Amino acid sequence: MPVEDYTYRAVGASGGAVVKGSMEAASASAVISKLRAQGLHPLEVAPTSKTGLNQEIPWFEKRVKLDDLAVLTNQLAGLINAGLPLLRALAVLIEQTDNKKLVSALTAVHADIEGGKAFSAALGMHPDVFPPLMISLVRVGETGGFLGDALESVAKSYRSDVELQQKIKSALTYPIIVLIIAALGVTAMLTFIVPIFENMFASMGGELPLPTQILVVLSRNMLWILPLMAVLIIVGVVWYRRVKDTDSFRGNVDPIKLKMPIFGTLITKIAVARFARNLSMMLNAGVPLLQALEIVGKAANNRAIEVALADVAVSISQGRSFALPLSRAQVFPPLVAQMVSVGEEAGTLPEMLESIADFFEAEVNTASEQLTATIEPILITLLGIVIGGMVISLYMPIFGMYDQLGKQ
């Protein structure tokens, strides 16, 4: 195993000042072992950030994705159910995990548990890595003595979310590729083809048709249009990364997502499937309904649904049924409230929510296929109009010249 340089923060066994330093080791867990042998209690161990051209830029740091958490929770559940102590299971995962950010967080969690913290409390120290849903279910599993089963439930939920994400990506791959090809084609024509025709038009004399004039003007200004577009894209990405998680931005944009033509229905079905799956899992784990609604709302990844579930929770706290306020929330299809009502009356709400999740996940699969079938002819038509319109605009002066020759 290759040796890497790690930085650490630690304190003595009896407390005292924080000690900082660096150490070469094969893994973060090896650093922890060496620190313990020295009588130190590790607080944080992380790979040393590189400098110069190899410096890691935060924007390009590998994020902890949902599939990373799905694999982590599945492996951790397997190790715990196999009888390994939690600290030993975490040490094994630290050595096997490739994502540096996840390794750093797990190392800190390992150190916090050794210091006497509960597993859920240690996870809660890293909200940017471990979602509230995972922390809450781990807390329930710790309290009830079924941590392995709770982690299996988290892994199942995350696997379902990953599958939904993959379906959306596969549905959007084709239109994105077509749009990129169209943009490259237009740019290439304006940069290389139009100047050739412009020189020919200059030798012909006469006034150019308006569409041709527009192409010529765009072609002449491509030297500054392209850099400007690049700058605008970069600025847009920077701005979006800064505001995408703010309440004001999500409050304005998320409701629009649900009402978008073509995509809105698909986004709604994904959100409903995620809501039903997560709520069913939490109710099965013994989480009270009001607390589960709050956690599931935060995990919905849509501000409009989060607000709707908060209103539902308020209504339930006032003594109303779950189905009634759910039916009044405009973000949920009527079928959801009807099935929840049946589940409430029959005393099988978690099972009914599971059925809702299965139904809407199947709907997502169908909708994603229909999305590709719907967008494909639209994009092909749009691409033909743009490229064909440019070609016709370039040949319009030539057609005009032939008409004049014919009249003479």
Q: Which contacts (CB < 8 Å, 24+ apart) does range 93-97 have?
A: 94/27, 94/28, 94/29, 95/27, 95/29, 97/72
Top-confidence residue, 305 or 3: 305
Pair (133, 152) in one structural domain: yes
**pLDDT reported for residue 253:** 87
Last residue of a domain, one of 118, 135, 158: 158
pLDDT of residue 231: 95
* pLDDT of the residue at 58: 44
CB-based contact 126:289 (threshold 8 Å): no
* Residue after which a domain boundary falls, among 158, 186, 221: 158
pLDDT tens for residues 270-323?
A: 888 888 888 888 888 888 888 888 888 877 778 888 888 888 888 888 888 888
State whether 154 and 199 are in the same domain. Answer: no
- Distance in angstroms between the alpha carbons of the first and the last residue of the chain: 85
DSSP 3-state of 402: helix
Q: Is the pLDDT assigned to residue 78 strictly greater than 50?
A: yes
Out of 17-31, 138-152, 157-171, 344-358, pick the least confident. 17-31
Please tell me the predicted confidence (pLDDT) of residue 370: 78
**Percent over 70 (pLDDT), the chain:** 91
Q: 139 and 85: one domain? A: yes
**Same domain assignment for residues 184 and 243:** yes
pLDDT above 60 for 407? no
302 and 153 in one domain?
no
Do residue 131 and residue 267 come from a single domain?
no
The answer to whether residues 102 and 237 belong to one domain is: no
Separation CA 363–CA 371 (nearest Å): 12
pLDDT given for residue 55 in this prediction: 46
10 with 88, same domain: the answer is no
What is the per-residue pLDDT for 247? 79
Confidence of residue 228 (pLDDT cuts 50, 70, 90): very high
Tell me, yes or no, whether 85 and 53 share the same domain.
no
d(CA 224, CA 191): 12
What's the pLDDT score for residue 289? 87
For the cut 70, the answer to whether the pLDDT of residue 1 exceeds it is: no
* Residue entry with tokens 């994603």: 368
- Domain of 153: which CATH number? 1.20.81.30
Question: Of the residues 34, 58, 82, which one is the last residue of a structural domain?
Answer: 58
Same domain, yes or no: 308 and 212:
yes
Distance CA 104, CA 217 (A): 54
Question: What residue numbers bound the domain in which 151 lies?
Answer: 66-158
Lowest mean pLDDT among 9-23, 271-285, 366-380: 9-23
Cβ proximity of 219 and 195 under 8 Å: yes
Same domain, 279 and 317: yes
At residue 234 the predicted structure's pLDDT band, cuts being 50, 70 and 90, is: very high
Q: Are residues 38 and 98 in the same domain?
A: no
Phi, psi of 383 (to 5 degrees): -60, -40
Q: Is residue 267 a contact partner of residue 221, using CB atoms and an 8 Å limit? A: no
Nearest by Cα to 112 from 80, 140, 87: 87
- Tell me which residue of 91, 84, 89, 118 sits closest to 33, measured CA to CA: 91
For 81-116, the pLDDT digits (tens) are 998 899 999 988 888 888 888 888 888 888 888 888
